[in-house]
Amino acid sequence: MKITKNEFGHDYLTYRFGYCEHAMLEPNDRIADFYEKGFLPYSAAPVIRGVFYMARSARIELPRFEFTSENRRIWKRFDGAFSFRRITAHEAKENPQIRGLFVEYFKGRHGRDIMPAKRFDAILDWPLPIHVLMYEKNGELLAAVLEVSGKSFGHFWFSAYDLSLVQQSLGMWLMLDGARRAKDAGRTRYYIGTVYGGKALYKTNLKPLEFWDGSSWCTDFPQLKKLARAESK
């Protein structure tokens, strides 16, 4: 693992200097070590692979993971509604239905340029143990999750689903199902992306949760909520 830092900003009057920290994948590196040290895979530029960025990520401690009452309420909405299968990234590249689902979902929810087909294919080419979790009904693909699956951890990277289901908390249900399956598989950590802005605070409904504070995994949720809400303003 090779660490690099690039200057981002500074406030010289208060001696505060900001640097973006990245980690580059090298031969014989353990993928789990990157996640353990607060890094997530960088995917914004299709030509860049094997680079991780440090961020305020969150993870679930799976041995103690249980549904809360709110989790159970959402779980009941789709429990038993889909057939499920897991395929490799290589198999996913040969399936235009999966690519189409992600492209259309991100275009409808976040904008045309967020997840074009070129970026989606580049993500599948990442040197990571990537799988696609597929949720189908009557032979139709309604939802899918890009997941990095290691022996001891899982990473819920991206999800996409039929836009007609947007207002039914299906995204949260998919995260719950991913965590449940990871726990059943004997994994100990499930990484669920970053917590920036008030819209990301729904992740605090997944317990027990930890977030990366820049140097260690933390459970100071009042501070996390304060940071995220301030960012929304």
Concatenated DSSP letters of 113-140: TTS-HHHHHHHHTSSS-EEEEEEEETTE
pLDDT at 59: 98
In the numeric block, the tokens 């950590």 are attached to: 189
CA-closest candidate to residue 53, choices 17, 25, 23:
23
- Position 233 pLDDT exceeds 80: no
CATH of the domain at 188: 3.40.630.30
Tally Cβ neighbours within 10 Å of residue 74. Answer: 21
How far is Cα 156 from Cα 129, in angstroms, rounded to an integer?
A: 12
Which tens digits make up the pLDDT trace of 121-153? Answer: 999 999 999 999 999 999 999 999 999 999 999
**What DSSP letter does each residue of 135-173 carry, written as one string?**
EEETTEEEEEEEEEE-SSEEEEEEEEE-GGGGGGTHHHH
Which of 66, 76, 65, 78 shows the shortest CA–CA distance to 170? 78
In DSSP notation, 179-226 reads HHHHHHTT-SEEEEEE--SGGGGGGGGSSSEEEE-SSSEE--HHHHHH
Range of the domain at 132: 2-232
- pLDDT of 45 > 90? The answer is no
Judged against a pLDDT cut of 90, whether residue 185 lies above it is answered with yes
Supply angle C-alpha 163, 70, 82, rounded to 5. 45
**In the prediction, which pLDDT does 47 show?**
85
Say how many domains are in the chain: 1
- pLDDT tens column, 86-113: 999 999 999 999 999 999 999 999 998 9
DSSP run (H or E) holding 41: strand 39-41
- Average pLDDT of the segment spanning 186-202: 96
